[in-house]
Amino acid sequence: MKLAKAMVTVAGMTGLSRIAGFVRDILTAAFLGAGPVADAFFIALKLPNFFRRVTAEGAFSIAFVPLYSRTLQTEGKDEANRFASNAFMIMLCVLSVFTLLVMIFMPYVIMVITPGFIGDALRQPMAVEFSRITFPYLLLMSLTALLGGVLNAHDRFAPFAFAPVLFNVSLIVALLVSGYFENAGYAMSWGILVAGILQLLFLWVAAFRNNVRITFKKPILDAKTKRVFRLMGPAMIGAGVMHINLFADLIIASLLEEGAISYLYYADRLNQLPLGVVGIAVGTALLPMLARAMELEDKSQSRNLFNRALEYCLLLALPAAVALAAIPLPLITVLFERGAFMASDSLMTASVLMAYAMGLPAYIAIKVFSTAHWAREDTVTPVKISVVATILNIVMSIALIQYIGVVGIALATGIAGWVQFFAHIHYLKDHSSAQLDAQFKFVVVKIIISSLIMGASLYGAAFILHDYIFSAFFLTRITALGGLVIFGILIYGTLILGLKVVKLSDIKRHLLKKGT
C-alpha cells in the first residue's frame, strides 16, 4: 500500500538524518560535555525549534496540508500554487517581524525560560548571544516546512525528509572548525543559521523541480487563508501546549544542578531516534492520505490507513523503548563518554533515558491519533488532551524532582504520554474511521510479547559483555555495543516472523513493488 511505501521513504531519510545526528551528538559531547557552555547552547538550539514546531511544523502544517491537498485534488495545480504562494508570503511577513522582535528582547526571553540562569556570569550572557544567532532559523525553517508540506501533498516525501541531514552536516562542520571561534557554542550557533539557509534553498529547488511555483506577491486574506488561520488557532494552542512541556522541563532543570539541561538533552537525543524516525514517518505520510480518504468518504480505506499506521508504529516503537530501558548505560557510555563528557555524566544521562523510554510508545502512537483528528479538521480535541497532560506533567515534575532530581522530569514526561494515549482512545471511540480492527488487536499482543523477550535477552547479553562494553579501548566498546544491537534485532526479528506478526511476502510487496 502507498502508506507503507511513503513511511519507508520518510523513515529512510529520517534514519539517515539521525545517523548524521548521532555523529553530531558524539562530537557535541566531546567538545561541549555537560557544562555551562553546553547548557547555554542547548537553550539556543531549542528556542527557535520550539516556535518552529508550534507554528510551522505544528499548527500551520496541521491546518494547511489537508486544505492544500483538497485544493490540489478538486481545483487543480494552478489554484494550489496560488494558495501556497499566498500562505508563503503571509508566513514570511509575520515571522520576519516576530523574529526581529524576539532578537531585540532576547535577554528578557532568556530570563523567563531559564530563571536558574539569572545571575550566572557564564550561562546567562552566552545563552542570550547564542540565541540571537540561532533565532532566525525559525523563519528559515518555517518557510522550508511550508514547501515540505506542499511536496508531501504531491506524494513527494523524500526532499523534506532529507532536509535535516543538511542541518546535522552543517553542525558537524561547525564543530570541526570550532577552533576558529571563542568556543564550540558560538561555532554551533552559526552552524544552525547556515543550516536554515541550506535547507530552505534545497526545498525551494525540490519544489521547483516538481512544478510547484511560489510567486512573490502581496499576501491577501482570502477565504482559504482565513480558514487556515481559524484551524491554526486551536492547533497552535495544542502544539504549543505540547511543547510547553519541553520548556517547562528546561525551566525546572535550570533550577537544578549545573548539567541537568545537558543530561535531558543527550538522553532525549537517543529517545528521539525512534520517535523521529517512526513518528515523523507516519505523521508525514498519513496526514495527506487520510485527508484524501476522508474527503472521498471512504471509511474502509480511512480505517485501514489508521490501523496499519498504528500497527507499524508499535511494531517499531515498543522494541525500541524496551531496548532503551534495558541497556541505557551501555548506549550512553559508548556513544557519548569521551572528551568533556565524564563517567558521572553517563550515569545521570542513562537514568534520564530510562525514564524517557517509558513514554516512547505512547508518544509515537499519539502521532497517529492526532493525525486522525486533524484529517477531519478537528483541532480542538487534541488541545483538550494536551492541556490536561501538560498541567499533569508540570505538577509531577515539580513533585518528583524533590526525590529523584532531573530523572523526575523525564519520568513525568513519560507518564504524561500515557495519559494522552488513553485520552485519545477515549475521544476516538465514536470516530468511524479510527476504530481498532481485529487484526490490530491480535497483532499488538504478539508485539508486546516479542519486545519483552527481546528486552530480557538484551539485558542478559549486556551483563555478559560488561567488561567489553566498558573497556578502555573504544574499538572494543563499539564492537560490543554493535553486537548487542544486532543481537537484539535478530531476536526481535525472529520472534515477529515466527509469530507471524509480519510476513516476508508482505515486506517484499511493500518495499519492492512500485506503485503499491
Give the percent of the chain with pLDDT over 90.
28
Question: What is the rounded distance in angstroms from the CA atom of residue 123 to the CA atom of residue 111?
Answer: 11
Question: What is the rounded distance in angstroms from the CA atom of residue 419 to the CA atom of residue 425?
Answer: 10
Q: What kind and span of H or E run contains 316?
A: helix 299-326
Average model confidence (pLDDT) across the chain: 81
Indicate if the pLDDT at residue 481 is higher than 60: yes
Give 298's contacts (C-beta < 8 A, 6+ positions apart).
Answer: none
pLDDT digits (tens, 9 = 90+) for 275-333: 666 656 565 555 566 656 665 566 677 777 777 777 878 888 899 999 999 999 999 99
- The region of weakest confidence among 115-119, 261-265, 427-431 is 427-431
Res. 87 pLDDT band, cuts 50 70 90: confident
SS (H, E, C) 2-63: HHHHHHHHHHHHHHHHHHHHHHHHHHHHHHHCCCHHHHHHHHHHHHHHHHHHHHHHHHHHHH
Mean pLDDT of 433-462: 88
pLDDT digits (tens, 9 = 90+) for 335-377: 888 877 888 889 999 999 999 999 888 888 887 787 777 666 6
- The region of weakest confidence among 96-100, 113-117, 121-125, 171-175 is 113-117
Question: What is the rounded distance in angstroms from the CA atom of residue 348 to the CA atom of residue 337?
Answer: 12
Indicate if the pLDDT at residue 7 is higher than 60: no
- The region of weakest confidence among 8-12, 186-190, 470-474, 480-484 is 8-12
24 in Cβ contact with 302 (< 8 Å): no
Res. 105 pLDDT band, cuts 50 70 90: very high
Res. 162 pLDDT band, cuts 50 70 90: confident
Indicate if the pLDDT at residue 115 is higher than 70: yes
> Which residue in the block uniquely carries the three cell numbers 501556497?
84
How many other C-beta atoms can be found within 10 angstroms of the C-beta atom of residue 168?
Answer: 21
E strands, 390-505, in order: none
C-alpha grid cell for residue 485? 544491537
Indicate if the pLDDT at residue 438 is higher than 70: yes
Torsion of CA 166, 167, 172, 173, to 10 degrees: 60
pLDDT of residue 329: 94
pLDDT of residue 239: 58
Res. 515 pLDDT band, cuts 50 70 90: very low
Mean pLDDT of 469-474: 87
Give 268's contacts (C-beta < 8 A, 6+ positions apart).
Answer: 356
Please state the pTM of the whole predicted model: 0.69
Mean pLDDT of 242-267: 79
Indicate if the pLDDT at residue 395 is higher than 80: yes
pLDDT of residue 189: 95
- Percent composition of the chain: helix, strand, coil (DSSP 3-state, to 5): 85, 0, 15
